């Protein structure tokens, strides 16, 4: 049989930590990953009703942090050069929409 077993309880572990199952449908399983103290690659084990097992990995990464923004204001015509100081910007996806 393909897909998830109807009515079977899903268990997803990140390392030795349980995740929270948010959605469990016939062809979809959505979970919320547990927190981790530092970046690392955690083994992930998926078990549905004890019959379906999958092993893979999930990489925890540092979250970008903003320390300072200079200057903190500019003219209404735009064009100001603004410097942002922080950590873990490299490799982080850039949002193209205002926050």
The answer to the question of residue 77 being in a domain is no
The pLDDT of residue 52: 66
> Is 65 within 8 Å of 85 (Cβ atoms)?
no
Q: What is the pLDDT of residue 59?
A: 85
Residue 49, in any domain of the structure: yes
pLDDT tens track of the chain, all 99 residues? 344 555 678 889 999 999 998 888 877 889 999 999 888 899 998 888 777 678 889 888 887 888 888 888 888 888 888 888 888 777 666 666 555
The structure's pTM equals 0.59
Inside any domain, residue 75? no
Domain membership of residue 38 (yes or no) is yes
Q: Residue 19 sits in which domain range?
A: 10-60
The β-bridge partners of 65 are 87
The C-alpha atoms of residue 44 and residue 10 are separated, in whole angstroms, by 13
Give the count of beta carbons closer than 10 Å to the beta carbon of residue 12: 22
Q: Count up the domains in the chain and report the number.
A: 1
């Amino acid at each position: 049989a393909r897909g998830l077993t109807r009515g079977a309880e899903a268990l997803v572990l990140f390392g030795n930590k349980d995740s929270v199952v948010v959605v469990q449908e016939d062809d979809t399983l959505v979970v919320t990953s547990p927190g981790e103290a530092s970046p690392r690659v955690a083994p992930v084990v998926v078990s549905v009703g004890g019959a379906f097992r999958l092993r893979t990995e999930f990489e925890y990464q540092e979250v970008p942090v903003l320390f300072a923004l200079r200057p903190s204001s500019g003219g209404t015509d735009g064009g100001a050069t603004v410097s942002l100081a922080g950590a873990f910007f490299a490799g982080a996806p850039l949002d193209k929409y205002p926050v």
